[in-house]
């Protein structure tokens, strides 16, 4: 495989200027053509899958199959899903209020409202999903569907893949009749010398007045810094940052009795250690009934030891993640009230120069009281294959503890029987979890985020910077890159196509007819 370095990036100024130039073109592009471009991008990625997957595996250490091939397919599906969003047009939320001289308390003018594209969007690529949250990932697909050009800040963990995917998608967009500069790449490491990590380019673009919004998936430290940059601009812009999550899973006595120790342990270990635990929905804390681990001669504890110990060594994505994981692991192991179940480990590569770090899973146990008494050294996310078993005295105690343990999570899970689900303590627990998590799932594990319209991938801060009001997965993600505008008594010739009487785009519209207000609120039929 070629080891040629990616081509040098264009200057930040040039990238921003190109994005600004193409923004009005995309904003005026018909939904059907936007959809065609997204479908073409999906087809092009599938057609070049062998090369792209091989490059991704080499740069990230993630398994080619099923991990990376599955992720590439997910990325293609995301593009197709947002092509349907663009084609349908309902995301534009077009509303027309006909002029109504009889409207109370004063006559109503002709009002026409819709959501319009914000403009150039800066997407900071993530390390752990080199396809699905990178150059052609969900943020890019949503922004293009909204009619916004995209500039992707390349992640240093997979620069050659980023360059390759960019060229594949740009060619596909151009072939479908969209501007090639609808997608651009910036911030490739080494573009301005051997010490250039590309960070400066990303920050410079975020400060550029032509960038209208930004999205980010990564660490809380980096995300907070970028959010502050976006907020400190002369004209602050929306910044949608996903900053991580511990994804607690609560298990009831009935749910544990309804399965086998081996089945529970296998499913738990698979979720906690897949891709070396480098997933934003990795279950960092699993709360099990007190006494369950040691019951029946320690059957469950032994099954968990076997399941976690059987997971082979896996390479971490890059040195920055490795350093952060090693520090968090040491802090957890040193926390009061923590006992080791499976020690696991972290080691540097034997080649002495690659900077690669390898790890095996770590599993520890503690109690709910100890977790409540602990500080951030135990409670914070460990981005890697580490999980904490927490013994709880009952779901009522967990419900009471949730506000003290969790501020914002991407997910929260509950393993419960149908009979237990009808009880007041479980209802109280579900209510508590729903206040701190964007997705509450039952009798499953949080890893594996379905690419589907109703998915919510975002939660209250610190899971995301916007208090969980939006999502980065699912069709609702498109709304992040739109804003409302109302046109009052506007001539037909100057209205956007979606609001004109002849409706050339054919998008869904809500129309309030003259005279309808007299019957508002009346029961029909």
- Residue 443: name the closest of 413, 477, 465, 469 by CA: 413
Q: 29: helix, coil or strand?
A: coil
Q: What is the separation of C-alpha 106 from the centre of its chain, rounded to a whole number of angstroms?
A: 46
Instruction: Count the helices and strands in the chain (H runs, E runs).
Output: 16, 19
At residue 403's C-alpha, the angle toward residues 371 and 240, to 5°, is 105
Report the half-sphere exposure of 372 (CA within 13 A, side-chain side). 14
Rg (CA), the chain: 25
What residues pair up with 122 in beta bridges, in sequence order? 151, 214
The Cα–Cα gap between 137 and 97 comes to 37
Cβ 412 vs Cβ 370: under 8 Å: no
> Which two structure tokens, joined as six digits, stand for 451?
């690419």
Catalytic residue among 80, 242, 391, 409: 242
Catalytic site includes residue 280: yes
> Which two structure tokens, joined as six digits, stand for 133?
């949250």
What residues pair up with 487 in beta bridges, in sequence order? 112
> How many other β-carbons are positioned within 10 Å of the β-carbon of residue 146?
28
DSSP label of 501: T
Report the half-sphere exposure of 148 (CA within 13 A, side-chain side). 32
> Which two structure tokens, joined as six digits, stand for 170?
């740009």
Catalytic residue among 280, 381, 391, 409: 280
Q: What distance separates the 2 farthest-apart alpha carbons in the chain?
A: 81
φ, ψ for residue 367 (rounded to 5)? -115, 165
Cβ 251 vs Cβ 213: under 8 Å: no
Q: 441: helix, coil or strand?
A: strand
Q: 114: helix, coil or strand?
A: strand
Catalytic site includes residue 242: yes
Angle formed by the axes of helices 31-47 and 138-146, to 10°?
A: 150
The Cα–Cα gap between 316 and 250 comes to 28
DSSP label of 335: S
The Cα–Cα gap between 525 and 508 comes to 25
Residues tagged active-site: 242, 280
């Amino acid at each position: 495989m070629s080891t040629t370095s990616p081509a040098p990036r264009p200057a930040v100024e040039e990238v921003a200027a190109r994005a600004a130039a193409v923004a009005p073109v995309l904003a005026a592009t018909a939904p059907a053509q936007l959809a065609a471009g997204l479908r073409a991008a999906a087809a092009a990625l599938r057609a070049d899958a062998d090369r792209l997957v091989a490059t991704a595996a080499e740069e990230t250490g993630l398994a080619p199959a099923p991990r990376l091939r599955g992720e590439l397919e997910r990325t293609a599906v995301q593009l197709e899903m947002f092509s349907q969003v663009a084609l349908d047009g309902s995301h534009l939320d077009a509303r027309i209020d006909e002029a109504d001289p009889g409207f109370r308390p004063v006559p109503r003018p002709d009002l026409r409202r819709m959501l319009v594209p914000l403009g150039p969007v800066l997407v900071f690529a993530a390390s752990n999903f080199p396809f699905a949250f990178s150059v052609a990932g969900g943020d890019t697909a949503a922004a293009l569907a909204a009619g916004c050009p995209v500039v992707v800040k390349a992640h240093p963990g997979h620069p050659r893949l980023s360059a390759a995917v960019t060229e594949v998608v740009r060619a596909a967009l151009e072939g479908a009749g969209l501007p090639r500069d609808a997608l651009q790449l910036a911030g490739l490491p080494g573009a301005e010398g051997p010490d250039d990590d590309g960070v400066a380019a990303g920050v410079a673009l975020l400060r550029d007045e032509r960038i209208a919004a930004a999205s980010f998936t990564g660490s809380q430290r980096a995300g907070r810094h970028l959010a502050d940059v976006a907020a400190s601009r002369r004209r602050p812009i929306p910044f949608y940052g996903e900053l991580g999550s511990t994804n607690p899973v609560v298990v009831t006595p009935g749910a544990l009795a309804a399965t086998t120790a081996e089945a529970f342990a296998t499913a738990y270990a698979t979720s906690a250690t897949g891709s070396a635990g480098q997933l934003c929905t990795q279950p960092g804390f699993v709360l099990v009934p007190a006494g369950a681990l040691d019951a029946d001669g320690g059957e469950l504890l032994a099954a968990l030891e076997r399941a976690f110990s059987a997971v082979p060594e896996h390479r971490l994505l890059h040195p920055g993640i490795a350093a952060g994981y090693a520090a968090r692991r040491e802090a957890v192991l040193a926390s009061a009230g923590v006992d080791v179940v499976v020690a696991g480990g972290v080691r540097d590569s034997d080649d002495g120069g690659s900077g690669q770090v390898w790890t095996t899973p770590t599993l520890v146990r503690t109690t709910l009281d100890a977790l409540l008494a602990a500080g951030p050294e135990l409670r914070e996310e460990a981005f890697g294959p580490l999980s904490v078993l927490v013994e709880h005295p009952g779901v009522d105690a967990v419900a009471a503890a949730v506000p003290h343990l969790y501020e914002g999570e991407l997910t929260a899970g509950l393993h419960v029987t149908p009979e237990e689900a009808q009880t007041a303590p479980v209802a109280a627990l579900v209510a508590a979890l729903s206040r701190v998590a964007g997705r509450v799932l039952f009798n499953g594990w949080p890893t594996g985020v379905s690419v589907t319209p109703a998915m919510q991938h975002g939660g209250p801060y610190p899971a995301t910077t916007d208090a969980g009001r939006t999502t980065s997965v699912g069709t609702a993600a498109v709304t992040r890159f739109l804003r409302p505008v109302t046109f009052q008594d506007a001539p037909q010739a100057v209205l956007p196509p979606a609001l004109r009487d002849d409706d050339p785009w054919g998008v869904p519209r809500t129309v309030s007819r003259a005279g309808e207000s007299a019957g508002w609120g009346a029961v029909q039929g």
